[in-house]
A = this chain, B = another copy of it.
């Protein structure tokens, strides 16, 4: 019997991970069934038990697998070249996040699964936060610090950071409502670009305004 975590490329194990990732991302941990995953992976029902012990082990393995390929969720291209100015970096950050959250492509279950964990946390959320979310949020915070200028405090930075990511996340998990509120709204590549421009402009205006305000207060 196979056990442990070493990645034997037995084929089925890999297929199970991919299938489980998609199914978990689509239906959530509880609603996803082992049978459904095995069917999609073209594997036998007992295989998930054989390779991962139980359903929970499979889920943890998927999260580990997700984190191993963390470059997918946290790509280097996200921040442009480090020398770029803060405005452009903010735009790139928002653009990248929105594309990942809204693109309909098949292999984007990574971020959907992470987004699901945010909303419906399992004990695995802690490692996700530490290893995937926090680096992202810190990068965004550094951009915002640069935009706000030096005279600011951590709470304002944090609130602005959350205001930015909230706008991106909203279009992901509330897509169903938006589609019903505005049936004409689509989410093609061009729409995402337009969205990114708006979020950037909206946030940039707000942050700059806050920057002036705090400057005025400290004078």
Contact = CB atoms under 8 A, between A and B. Distances in A.
Interface string A189-206: 000000100110111011
A128 to B, nearest CB: 9
Contacts of A206: 201-203, 205-206, 209
Number of copies: 2
Q: Is the interface of A mostly helix, strand, loop or mixed?
A: helix
Contact of A163 (B30, B167, B176, B182): B167
A158 B174 contact: no
A43 interface: no
A156 B177 CA distance: 18
Nearest to A197: B159
Interface in A107-162: 118-121, 125-126, 129, 133-134, 137, 156, 158-160, 162
Interface of A: 28, 30-31, 118-121, 125-126, 129, 133-134, 137, 156, 158-160, 162-163, 165-167, 169-171, 173-174, 176-178, 180-182, 195, 198-199, 201-203, 205-206, 208-210
